[in-house]
Amino acid sequence: MGALSGQVAVISGASRGIGAAIARELGAHGASVLINFANSAGPAEALAQDLRDGGGAGEVLTYQADMTDEEQARGMVEQAFAHFGQVDILINNAAITRDRTFRKLTSDDWRRVIDTNLNSVFYATHSAVPHLIEQGGGKIINISSIVALSGNIGQTNYTAAKGGLISFTKSLALELARYKILVNCVAPGFIATDMLAVVPDNIKEQITNRIPLRRFGKPEEIAKAVRFLCVDGDYITGQTISVNGGMYM
């Protein structure tokens, strides 16, 4: 029996990168997992099959929903509770970047990032909270970013959204503590995912030189922090756990 056996985790944006690593980690510890994807059906189904073949996870489902669409995001949460009868862990992970210096940033660049990285969290969480209260508790974990804490050139839209998640986490944690619902944030540093892969090599080298551990993080290292909150974080709420190789302290 894994530490999360009998529990259900819903993870947005989970077909690849950090979201997929979280699904693998929680599944490996016995959780049933709902893997959300917007467009990447192939990777999502492959991940689900890997979890099923691994034998450790409970039930594994994939669910297509554009998290920027309120009806779809809320529908995913409602369907998860209807199917499983419970959801113990909600991981708000879906995110995109549209990087440009502020003077070149378009209104569309702004809206797309805010919709995906911040508004989607409201939609999913707002739908989940009444159910979590009714069932007597649960855990909400929001995936923020190091740049929400440090700032970053060319990412005013992204930092606004990810910084908003940190403030959202603190306020919601205060409101929901009485219901035994814990709300926390994980702020990854620069992690070796598809999002980082598009960065030019010379910029990657500059970033690596600023990291005391002299390497990019792995998605699995973020997933372990999430798993800690899920398994051992019963007296932790309203916090942001930074996993960034010492780049920002």
Tokens representing residue 167 in the block:
């403030």
- Residue 231 one-letter amino acid: V
pLDDT for position 150: 97
pLDDT for position 170: 98
pLDDT for position 98: 97
- The helices-and-strands tally (H runs, E runs) of the chain is 10, 7
Tell me which H or E stretch contains 64.
Answer: strand 60-64
Q: Are 132 and 89 in contact (CB under 8 A)?
A: no
Q: How far apart are CA 107 and CA 103, in angstroms?
A: 11
Listed in sequence order, the DSSP H helices in 32-155 are 41-54, 70-84, 107-114, 120-135, 146-150
Which residues are known to be catalytic?
A: 158
Q: Which DSSP letter does residue 102 get?
A: G
pLDDT for position 198: 84
- Return the SS3 of 242: strand
One digit per residue, the tens of pLDDT, for the chain of length 249 reads 799 999 999 999 999 999 999 999 999 999 999 999 999 999 999 999 999 999 899 999 999 999 999 999 999 999 999 999 999 999 999 999 999 999 999 999 999 999 999 999 999 999 999 999 999 999 999 999 999 999 999 999 999 999 999 999 999 999 999 999 999 999 999 999 988 888 889 989 999 999 999 999 999 999 999 999 999 999 999 999 999 999 999
For 190-239, the pLDDT digits (tens) are 999 988 888 889 989 999 999 999 999 999 999 999 999 999 999 999 99
What domains, with CATH codes, occur in the chain? 8-243 (3.40.50.720)
pLDDT for position 107: 98
**String of DSSP letters for 129-161:** HHHHHHHT-EEEEEE--HHHHH--TT-HHHHHH
Q: Are 186 and 243 in contact (CB under 8 A)?
A: yes
pLDDT for position 25: 98
Rounded to the nearest 5 percent, the helix, strand and coil shares of the chain are 50, 15, 35
Sheet holding 8-11, edge to edge: 60-64, 32-37, 8-11, 89-92, 138-143, 181-188, 240-243
* CA 69 vs CA 62, 121, 123: distances in Å: 18, 11, 9
pLDDT for position 23: 98
User: Per the confidence metrics, is the pTM higher than 0.95?
Assistant: yes
pLDDT for position 55: 85
* Strand 240-243 with 89-92, pairing: unpaired
